Amino acid sequence: PAGYTAAIYGARANLKPVLITGIQMGGQLTTTTEVDNWPGGQEGLQGPALMEELKAHAERFETQVVFDHIHTADLGQRPFRLEGDSGVYTCDALIIATGARARMAMNTP
């Protein structure tokens, strides 16, 4: 949700954001069944549905959503240069929201 939220705020400030989704668009929420800790969320809110709502919200404010995997970033000078599997991107400002995933601790009782 952090990447989409940043894109929404940027778009509302007329910054023309591009959101590059990465391999798993939406991170951990795409595999979460019920999201009971989302403010204002209805009972039984599903993670994938929430991510679709956030994507639609960002696109409503003209955020460009691109499905790509960034493998190289040159942040030494502006414009920043990002290389992905599908292309090269440049930008003057960058927010990195890498997402979360569940991790199980080994040998825990």
Could you tell me which of 72, 63, 65, 108 has the C-alpha nearest to residue 90?
A: 72
- Per-residue pLDDT band for 78 (boundaries 50, 70, 90) equals very high
pLDDT of residue 104 exceeding 60: no
The answer to whether residue 68 scores a pLDDT higher than 80 is: yes
Query: What is the structure's pLDDT at 10?
Result: 96
Q: Using 50, 70 and 90 to split pLDDT, how confident is the model at 92?
A: very high
Domain range list for the chain: 2-91
* Domain 2-91 bears CATH identifier 3.40.50.300: no
Answer with the residue of higher pLDDT: 103 or 57: 57
- pTM higher than 0.85: no
Query: Which token pair is 92?
Result: 């003057």
